[in-house]
């Protein structure tokens, strides 16, 4: 039937792979995965990586033309959303009749620009790899767990969370940290190991500031805040961590009583170990305290995003308000 979307595949040697997103590490891995599979099938595989500007009209036909030696090729086109109109026509034509022994990888940002090409590749049944930026803490946590699994090692949930707290949101740094721990440590990687290797950074992370604040430890929270600022932790990451800490207490406080730990974890969207930590942190909190703390954090967040003259002062006031609220019961 005309217009029917072709069946997709998970085979890295599919004729066309579409890597969609803006996370550079994941985009690069998508290309490496295809290249590795192609070279496993044929060690002499020719891998060509091109920027959009390099794919001029006629270039794709030249790269994918039959070879006398029937060699396998991988052609990767970065920033495919920036291709010229004529080059897009070439790619769309190729999608309708891809060459044998050729794997085309289109790396596309996924936005509105170049959407026609994106839609055409999907309609043609391209294998698709998600490469979106991991903006949610849960996604970065899943990434770290996946890194350890891929390296053949196990890490406790607490260790994975501690590593994310310590290293931050950069996937390259997270991946590098996982590799370092696996290379240097035997056995299961736990929270103590992460603390030993990343003590300076872990203690200065936004989540460390938040933990001390929501526990009512004002002096320690301020000391950790100043160290975090001195070591380059972005203020917005600190307000985000403070907000997450206070919201976690509010969510747990309002949760139905008597629920089993597993059910409660699913209801609140928290891992069980996190619920145990929040339960300990919420002992001194009242409903009014949660409300007051959230308003203070929201004000600080606005200030650090350009609405105030002194982001550091705004953060200090938010930390003090949260710590005071932690003893409002």
Q: At the topology level of CATH, where does 206-326 sit?
A: Zinc Finger, Delta Prime; domain 3 (1.20.272)
Are the beta carbons of 278 and 255 closer than 8 angstroms?
no
CATH superfamily of 16-130: P-loop containing nucleotide triphosphate hydrolases (3.40.50.300)
Q: What is the mean pLDDT of residues 3-14?
A: 64
Would you place residue 201 in the very low, low, confident or very high pLDDT band (cuts 50, 70, 90)?
Answer: low
Q: Which of 259, 257, 250 is nearest to 282 (CA)?
A: 250
CB atoms within 10 A of CB 66: 11
Are the beta carbons of 305 and 276 closer than 8 angstroms?
no
**Which of 1.10.8, 1.10.3470, 2.60.40, 3.40.50 would CATH assign to domain 137-198?**
1.10.8
| Tokens coding 47 | 């891998």
User: What pLDDT digit, counting tens, does each position of 205-226 carry?
Assistant: 788 899 899 999 999 899 889 8
Are the beta carbons of 244 and 264 closer than 8 angstroms?
no
User: What pLDDT digit, counting tens, does each position of 57-90 carry?
Assistant: 999 999 888 765 657 899 999 999 999 999 999 9
pLDDT at position 261: 65
- pLDDT of 246 above 90: yes
pLDDT at position 276: 77
Lowest mean pLDDT, pick from 23-32, 135-144, 275-284: 275-284
| Tokens coding 70 | 């029937």
């Amino acid at each position: 039937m005309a217009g029917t979307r072709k069946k997709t595949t998970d085979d890295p040697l599919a004729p066309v792979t579409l890597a969609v997103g803006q996370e550079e590490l994941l985009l690069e891995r998508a290309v490496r995965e295809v290249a590795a599979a192609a070279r496993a099938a044929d060690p002499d595989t020719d891998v060509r990586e091109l920027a959009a500007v390099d794919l001029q009209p006629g270039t794709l036909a030249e790269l994918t033309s039959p070879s006398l030696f029937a060699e396998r090729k991988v052609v990767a086109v970065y920033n495919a959303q920036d291709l010229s109109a004529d080059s897009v026509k070439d790619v769309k034509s190729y999608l309708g009749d891809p060459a044998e022994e050729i794997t085309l990888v289109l790396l596309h940002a996924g936005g509105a620009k170049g959407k026609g090409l994106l839609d055409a590749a999907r309609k043609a049944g391209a294998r698709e790899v998600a490469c979106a930026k991991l903006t949610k803490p849960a996604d970065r946590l899943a990434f770290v767990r996946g890194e350890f699994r891929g390296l053949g090692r196990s890490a406790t949930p607490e260790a994975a969370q501690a590593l994310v707290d310590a290293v931050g949101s950069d996937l390259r740094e997270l991946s590098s940290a996982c590799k370092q721990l696996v290379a240097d440590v035997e056995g299961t990687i736990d929270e103590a190991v992460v603390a030993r290797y990343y003590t300076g950074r872990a203690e200065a992370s936004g989540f460390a500031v938040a933990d001390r604040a929501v526990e009512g430890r004002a002096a320690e929270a301020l000391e950790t805040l100043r160290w975090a600022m001195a070591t380059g932790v972005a203020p917005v990451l600190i307000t985000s961590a403070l907000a997450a800490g206070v919201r976690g207490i509010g969510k747990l406080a309002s949760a139905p009583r008597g629920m089993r730990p597993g059910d409660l974890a699913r209801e609140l969207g928290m891992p069980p170990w996190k619920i145990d930590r929040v339960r300990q942190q919420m002992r001194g909190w009242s409903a009014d305290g949660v409300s007051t703390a959230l308003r203070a954090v929201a004000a600080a967040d606005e200030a650090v995003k350009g609405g105030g003259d002194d982001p550091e002062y705004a953060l200090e006031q938010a930390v003090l308000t949260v710590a005071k609220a932690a003893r409002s019961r």
